[in-house]
Structure 1
Amino acid sequence: MKATVEISMYPFNQDFIPPIKSVIAGFNQYPNIDVVTTSTSTQLYGDYDEVMACVTAELKKSFEEFGFAVFVAKILGRDVRKPFTEDNQA
């Protein structure tokens, strides 16, 4: 199954740019996941299990390195870049 995750990070840190850049850099280390970053969020596209493992690992690293932050995510069970068809669900 494919997945799309759109995620935004809100660090509780005066210097908020380094934590955000670190999480985005972490997402980009996964070769099987397409990463698109905009000014307000980052979208991850790929196999559901791989995308969710990536999100879990990178959020944990962020909490351990930078402390408290809020992440807001939308998780969809398909690749939204492709037209909605029965084939796009798998």
Structure 2
Amino acid sequence: MNISVELTLTPLQDDFEPAIIQFIKRLRESGLTVLENPLSTQVYGDYDTVMKVLHKEIKTALEAVERGLLYIKIVKSDRSDYEPHF
């Protein structure tokens, strides 16, 4: 089963950029399809593979910040080829 996951990491601290950058870089290195925009990062792939990567990388990302939020949306389908029609 393929899934699409949208992630938004929000460190609640002044020096927030390094934690976000490292999180995205580690996701890119996972071999999964990863797309970014200014507000979120999307990860696409097989459910078990994506969740295994996220399990590890979310823990690492949260350990790297003093306080933070991580918003996650999961869609049951691979939406990596989505293009708006407007």
Partner SS for 1:44 = strand
CA RMSD of aligned residues (A): 1.4
Cα distance in 1, alignment partners of residues 79 and 62 from structure 2:
28
For structure 1, which runs of at least 5 residues remain unmatched after alignment? 84-90
Corresponding residue for 1:58? 57
Residue 23 of structure 1: SS of its match in structure 2? helix
- Which residue in the other structure is 1:28 paired with? 28
Which segments of structure 1 move beyond 4 Å, counting only runs of 4 or more? none
Distance in 2 between residues matched to 1:42 and 1:81, nearest whole Å: 12
Q: Shift of the alpha carbon at 1:81?
A: 3.4
Give the number of equivalent residue pairs. Answer: 82
Q: Taking structure 1 as the reference length, what is the TM-score of the superposition?
A: 0.83
Q: What is the TM-score with the length of structure 2 in the denominator?
A: 0.87
What residue number does 2:37 align with? 38
The aligned amino acid for 1:30 is S
- Identity over the aligned pairs, expressed in percent? 32
Structure 2 residues not aligned, in runs of 5+: none
Query: What does 1:63-78 align with in structure 2 at a 5 Å threshold?
Result: 63-78=62-77
